[in-house]
Amino acid sequence: MGETVRVAGHLQDYRALGGVAFALLRDRSGLVQVTLKKGVTPPALFELLEGVPRESVLRVDGTVAANPRARVGAEVLPDRIEVLSRAEVPLPLGVVDKVHADLDTRFNHRVLDLRKPEVQALVGLRAALLDGFRETFRELGFVEVETPKILRQGAEGGATMFPVDYFGTRAYLAQSPQLYKQMLMATDLEQVFEIGPAFRAEPSDTQRHLTEFTSIDAEMAYLEGPEDLWRMVERLVSGSLRVARRRLQEEGSPLAGSVPEPSPPFPRVPFSQAAELLGRVPGSDSFEADFQTEDEKRLGEILPARFGNDFYFLTEFPTAIKRGTFYAMRQDDHPDRTNYFDLDFRGQEMLSGGQREHRLPILEAQIREAGLSPESFGAYLEAFRYGMPPHGGFALGLDRLAARIAGIANIREVRLFPRDRYRLEP
C-alpha cells in the first residue's frame, strides 16, 4: 500500500458512478481495479476513459490503496493513463459477456476467445500437463528427441497422410514418429520420448479427432514383455498428473481439482473379456471387431464400476485388428493375439502401444502381409540388421487427455488454433 506502480492490460469494463469511476484491467494474472475519484484524479482521465472502447489496451501509473471491496483488497489510484491500443467497435465476440457464441464464431475470432478466463484455464491445463510429462519422463530416465516431420514413407503407408511437394519429390507430413523412435532403440539411447505435432488426413467429423494434434510418444528397449510397458505407463501417467495438479494448484487454476489422482496398478482387461462384457458372442464375426466410440463409452460405465479405477488397460488386441500395424508383435503361443494394448480413461482411449516385432525375418513377413513392400522401408529395416534389442512403446494424445480432464466434449476447444478438415485459419 502506498507504492507507486505501473499496470497494463485490456480494459474489461468501465463504470462511472457520479463522483467515482471504476476501470477493470485484465492481464494473465487476473483483474486489477483502477479507481478514479473526483477531486483526487485529474479530470482529463475521466474524459479519456469515457471514450475508450472495452478491450482496448491501457497503461496506468498510480498509487496502490487499500480497498476491501475491490477484488484483490486493493486498487490503483491513477496519476496517468495511456491508451496503447484502441479496440474497434463493435466487438465481433464478447470476452466476458454472458452471451452464447457457437464454436465457429469463437474460432473465427479466436484471439478474442482466448482472452476468456475459462479458455485461458484450458491453456494453463495443457501447459501443466506438458510440464508434468516432461518432468516425469526425465525422472524415469528417458531422453527427449525430435524426429523429422517431413517423411518419404508413413508408418502404415500413405493412405491417411498429407502429401507435400518436397523440391519436386512427393513427401508426407508425419502421422507419427513411430518408425524413427523404433530405429533409435538400436542406438543405445534405450529410452526416448518426443512431444510434437502429428498429422492425420482422415476425413473425420467427430468431436474427438483433429487433423493436427499433439502426440506424446515414448519407446523403450530391452523389454521382457508387455508388462514392462504397462508398469512404465502407470508410473508415467500417475507421476505426470501429480505434477500437473500441483502446478495448477500453485497457480490457483479453477481446473486443478479436475486433474485425477490415479492409483496404480491399473486393471488389465484382455480384449476378449471386454468383448464379452459388451455382449459379443465368442466365435462370431463381430467378436474381434475393433471397439468403436460407443463400445468405449459402454466399457467406461462397466469397468470403473467393477475395478474402482477410471484408468484401465485393454490388452491382447487381436491380430485381425492390428494386421495393418506391421510392427506389432504377435504372441508366439497365440499368433491370433498381439502384445498391443490401449489405456482408456473414463470411457475413452487415451494411449495405445505395445511390444514391437524386433526379429527382422518376421518383421519383413508382416510388412508383406500388410500389403506393403519391405523395399519401401530400407532405412527403417537397416536398423534391425545390425542388432535390435526387444523393444516397445506407446503414444498418448495430449489434446484428448486435456479435454477429458476438463470435461470438454469437443477436442477442438483445447487447441489454440484447431485444424480439422474444414478449418485452415486463423
Q: Would you please indicate which residues are annotated as catalytic (active-site) residues?
A: 200, 202, 208-209, 349, 352, 400
Task: Report the alpha-carbon angle 183-232-216, nearest 5.
Answer: 55
* Amino acid identity, position 356: R
C-beta separation of 18 from 65 below 8 A:
no
Alpha carbon distance 280, 55 (integer Å) = 57
Q: Give 400's Cβ-side CA count (13 Å radius).
A: 23
Grid cell for residue 293 = 466410440
C-beta separation of 384 from 358 below 8 A:
yes
At residue 208, φ and ψ (nearest 5 deg) are -120, 5
Q: For every residue of the chain, which 3-state class applies, written as one string?
A: CCCEEEEEEEEEEEEEECCEEEEEEEECCEEEEEEEECCCCCHHHHHHHHCCCCCCEEEEEEEEEECCCCCCCEEEEEEEEEEEECCCCCCCCCCCCCCCCCHHHHHHCHHHHCCCHHHHHHHHHHHHHHHHHHHHHHHCCCEECCCCCEECCCECECCCCCEEEECCEEEEECCCCHHHHHHHHHCCCCEEEEEEEEECCCCCCCCCCCCEEEEEEEEEECCCCHHHHHHHHHHHHHHHHHHHHHHHHHHCCCCHHHCCCCCCCCCEEEHHHHHHHCCCCCCCCCCCCCCCHHHHHHHHHHHHHHHCCCEEEEECCEHHHHCCCCCECECCCCCCEECEEEEEECCCEEEEEEEECCCHHHHHHHHHHCCCCHHHHHHHHHHHHCCCCCEEEEEEEHHHHHHHHHCCCCHHHHCCCCCECCECCC
